[in-house]
Structure 1
């Protein structure tokens, strides 16, 4: 992602977080407390000066009673939606060139997201626990993916699938010599919804 593209994404996030906060009549302090992040970080996000992680955006979405897709503007009213490649945000960049793209998601407090991940050899993504009862469905298209859930590691090879409750610390890593591509569906119900 070029700097210009990330600036556009961050400004869209800033505007939507600010709007959702105002709609919920929350002060910066109240949102920070609900999301369990610092007030300073909320301020930086609303000014478009932060490059928030996926985990941080999930905390904000949960605290605001909306979906992550609402915050990054990839959700729409229920109808047929076509999202072209140039409109799909990349929300994670691995240190070796891997990516995680939020392909689609639902609006509101019941969040369903569809992700496409590409992890290059040696890359890892670590996540804090999601909200209670969050489920992830993972399907490996190619390569080998190590998924750690609450300190237990599971290996998924091409065409393997997994369903896991992710309200515990977890991570995804590529410990192989070739790229791994996987899709993920996340189901989470906001504690505010």
Structure 2
């Protein structure tokens, strides 16, 4: 089984499980996530590999981290994630990427990411649920964070935190690659 097949199967199994645990019908989850009922059915039947944006919307609507939806490892008191088991969520032809390193559901989803943005690349994200927080530490280059239309320059060594319930963008306006570590905390679904 390929990595993509394993990921698709894990997402199908975990989406069904968390939707059931939350007591959401297909229609209720579709409305909460802004994703079509048909797309959710296709995902739960492992007939499609949804975009990162769709996966994030479903995770946010369920109040879980995307690591929880994509996880295929057995549960243990200590969870070690080798570098080759981390999930590359997106990449660009220029070499930019985001890798989800590890996450947990303790007191709501908490995720740890590493990011690499090449010169001129950017990523814009829809708002997370109210109460979501992102923490960012730039380790190389300079990253520009845009929240509610206001840009913030973050050179290497600078950290930032913000409430992520507004659309936000990460971009590299410099000439060198920008690298950062990011943590995302999402409140549990109510």
TM above 0.5:
yes
Q: How does 1:13-162 map to 2 (within 5 A)?
A: 13-48=11-46, 49-53=48-52, 55-73=53-71, 79-107=77-105, 110-162=108-160
Query: More displaced, 33-42 or 121-130?
Result: 33-42
**1:171 match:** 169
- Structure 1, unpaired ranges of 5+: none
User: How big is the shift at 1:98?
Assistant: 1.6
The residue matched to 1:81 in structure 2 has which SS? coil
User: How big is the shift at 1:50?
Assistant: 2.8
User: How big is the shift at 1:78?
Assistant: 7.3
Distance 1:142 1:11 in 2: 36
Distance 1:163 1:65 in 2: 20
1:14-70 CA-partner distances (Å, limit 9, x unpaired): 2211222233343221210121221122123223313321x4323212322333221
Tell me if structure 2 keeps the 8 A contact 1:14–1:47. yes
Tell me if structure 2 keeps the 8 A contact 1:111–1:190. yes
Distance 2:12 2:20 in 1: 12
TM-score by length of structure 1 reads 0.87
Distance 1:183 1:76, change over 3 A: farther
Number of residue pairs matched? 188
